[in-house]
Amino acid sequence: MSRSLLVISAHAADFVWRAGGAIATFAAAGGVARVVALSYGERGESGELWKEPGQTEEKVKQIRHREASQAAAILGARFECLDLGDYPLEVDRAALERLTAIIVETAPDLILTHAQQDPFNPDHPVAYAATERARQLASGSGVASAFRTVRPPELLLFEPHQPELCGFVPNVFLDITPVWEKKQQAMAVFASQSYLRQYYSERAAHRANHARRIAGYKDIERAEAFQRVLPQVVRSL
């Protein structure tokens, strides 16, 4: 059976910059990757689109949906959006239940989401908290329960824009050299944000530098950093 990855992000484009390499790596290995955005980031993070005269929220959402779907497809993932609104993003009881149901239905081996804090983004920590709570509700208490549960998935956080200010301490570096071209293509979908493309390309090279220094693998040219939150259970060291 193929492995399953679930990426939960606050806004439509987050997954590309922060986890595009992980998604492409997962898909390339035969895994099934699903991206769930809680909002389109239509109000707060669609800067360029709002400069166009006569722009509307509905149109912004459509553009964002198209772009995110296209980028996800390049990486090998399916994209969907719960459209909960942004700035501020709020996850009420019903939305929490939808998210829990998605986890139960997906039964992911691995969930990726935002870091717990972000002093410069009001929605990222909301996405973290909702994901963390839904993960627990979906996996239950470890004993038989009155509702359907899944095997507890792993949980990793992807890199925020200002890692140290978000309490982010990477403990997993993923070599994304083999899928780097795919990540570049996915980033290129967001045509108006070429400065982010440059930023995250350089960042991937820096993280590769760190990975080489940590483990001595000289062939790593691009990497993504993650913070694993829960213990690993392993059969060998």
As measured in angstroms, the least distance from the Cβ of 186 to a copy of itself is 17
Strands 223-228 and 172-175 come out as antiparallel
Report the residue from 156, 157, 189, 204 that binds a copy of itself according to the rule CB under 8 A. Answer: 156
At 57, give phi and psi (nearest 5°).
Answer: -60, -40
Q: How many CA atoms lie within 13 A of 35 on its CB side?
A: 33
Q: Report d(CA 97, CA 229) in Å as an integer.
A: 22
Report the residue from 59, 169, 181, 194 that binds a copy of itself according to the rule CB under 8 A. Answer: 169
Per CB under 8 A, the segment of 61-69, 70-78, 114-122, 180-188 that binds a copy of itself is: 114-122
Report the residue from 105, 148, 194, 214 that binds a copy of itself according to the rule CB under 8 A. Answer: 214
Residues contacting a copy of itself: total by CB under 8 A: 83
Cβ nearer to a copy of itself, comparing 1 with 146: 146
Cβ nearer to a copy of itself, comparing 124 with 186: 124
The one-letter amino acid at 184: Q
Positions 25 through 54 that interact with a copy of itself (CB under 8 A): 25-26, 29, 42-48, 50-51
As measured in angstroms, the least distance from the Cβ of 206 to a copy of itself is 7
Long-range Cβ pairs for the range 200-208 (8 Å, 24+): 200/17, 203/159, 204/21, 204/176, 204/180, 207/159, 207/170, 207/173, 208/175, 208/177
As measured in angstroms, the least distance from the Cβ of 39 to a copy of itself is 12
Positions 116 through 155 that interact with a copy of itself (CB under 8 A): 119-122, 132-133, 136-137, 139-147, 151-152
Category of 83 on φ-ψ map: left (φ > 0), alpha (ψ -120 to 50) or beta: left
As measured in angstroms, the least distance from the Cβ of 224 to a copy of itself is 10
| Whether the Cβ atoms of residue 47 and residue 69 lie closer than 8 Å to each other | no
Positions 69 through 88 that interact with a copy of itself (CB under 8 A): 87-88
Q: How many CA atoms lie within 13 A of 46 on its CB side?
A: 26
Binding mask 174-213 for a copy of itself (x = CB under 8 A): xx-----------------------x--xx-xx--xxxxx
Report the residue from 168, 180, 186, 222 that binds a copy of itself according to the rule CB under 8 A. Answer: 168
As measured in angstroms, the least distance from the Cβ of 150 to a copy of itself is 8
Whether a cis peptide bond, with omega within 30° of 0, leads into 88 is yes
As measured in angstroms, the least distance from the Cβ of 64 to a copy of itself is 12
Give the dihedral of Cα atoms 145, 148, 152, 156; nearest 10 deg.
-130
